[in-house]
Amino acid sequence: MKYRPLGRTGLNVSEVSLGTWAFGSPSIYGSVDSDAAHRAIRGALDAGINFFDTAPLYGTSEADGIAEGVLGKALGGDRDKVCIATKFGRYHSRGHTNELFDAKTLTWSVEQSLQRLSTDHIDVLFFHSPTHPNNIKDDVWTAFDALKSSGKVRFTGLSCGFITDTADMTRAWADTGKIAVAQVAYSLTYREWEPIIQHLGEKGVGIVARESLANGFLAGVFKQDIVFPEGSLNSRYPREEIVERVELADRYKEVLVRGDVKSLAAAAMRWVIDNPNISTVLSGSRKLEEILDCATASEAGPFSTAEMAAARKLHTKDFTPA
């Protein structure tokens, strides 16, 4: 595993990292066996992954932060060897569409996350996908300062939602130094954020790429006739779009899979890593073998100019991420 600076934070993070949404959202991903989750996280550690992303929202209406609890338990005594990023502002227990970006919620949320993660500090705390600057209360910044002074939070981040909602806010927060890290959706099939990624990189903001396997479509395992379970993220797509996504994934596989890039998933991750502004790219899998496959992208060589040109030629439109 290779490592990169997380912007100007002074933290060095693995090029491939692990997102934990699938470890705490049974209504979307199905129940997770705790032993299997433990093996997956420990296996990621053994593979050199040192950046883990989670959130209170990765839970249920009865229990926030299930994924945080799973992660904290699995890391155990190795917590100080890794960087933990979590979020605040959205909670299933409070209606997941509600945006609660105020000082009181922030302070409460951090204390709850610290307890579930079994740690005394959070390395990066993201605003969880605010949709408009007006939803951010002024007192939240003073509360962030207090949390940083106490050592409970090290760096402020913004997990960006839809670009139409948050592009201007993301630029402004980077320009004024309000955030040290940003998290954006970015993949072979979704490149809308590229101008913002470039801008963030120029400002020294660390960038975490998410949804880089397009919720499984770039893992290379879906067939055109696949039927997704009701309520799953991919069940929203019409049959025509599913077919189009699968066909495109097959074409990417033809031009990017090679000797040291043995799967489409690894190729999709490698393509993201080849953007020098990206600090780390999240694998969202909960299966250890899939996480390890993604991790191989870090040791693979960069794509050639011809390979990048072939991938660029295939990209004729963006597919909206989950």
The pLDDT tens digits along the chain (322 residues) read: 999 999 999 999 999 999 999 999 887 887 878 899 999 999 999 999 999 999 999 998 899 999 999 999 999 999 999 999 999 999 988 876 789 999 999 999 999 999 999 999 999 999 999 999 999 999 999 999 999 999 999 999 999 998 988 999 999 999 999 999 999 999 999 999 999 999 999 999 999 999 999 999 999 999 999 999 888 889 999 999 999 999 999 999 999 999 999 999 999 999 999 999 999 999 999 999 999 999 999 999 999 999 999 999 999 999 988 7
The residues that bridge with 258 in the sheet, in sequence order, are: 261
Catalytic amino acids?
A: 58
3-class secondary structure, 187: strand
Query: What is the pTM (predicted TM-score) of this model?
Result: 0.97
**Residue 231 near residue 27, CB atoms below 8 Å:** yes
Residue 322 falls within a domain, yes or no?
no
Backbone angles phi, psi at 88, to 5 degrees: -150, 160
| Number of domains forming the structure of the chain | 1
What single string gives the DSSP state of each residue in 84-143?
EEEEES--GGG-TT---BSHHHHHHHHHHHHHHHT-S-EEEEEEE--S-GGGB-THHHHH
The answer to whether residue 132 is domain-embedded is yes
Q: Please indicate, yes or no, if residue 321 is contained in any of the structural domains.
A: no
Exposure b/e, 157-179, CB count within 10 A at least 16 = b: bbbbbebebbbebbeebbeeeeb
The answer to whether residue 72 sits within a structural domain is yes
| In-domain check, residue 48 | yes
* Residue 319, domain member (yes or no): no
Is residue 320 in a domain?
no
The parent domain of residue 50 ranges over 3-314
CATH number of the structural domain spanning residue 309: 3.20.20.100
Question: Using CA atoms, how far apart are residues 296 and 263, in angstroms rounded to an integer?
Answer: 10
pLDDT at 173: 98
Question: The tokens 């050639």 sit on which residue?
Answer: 304
pLDDT for 162: 87
Please check whether residue 241 lies inside any domain of the structure: yes
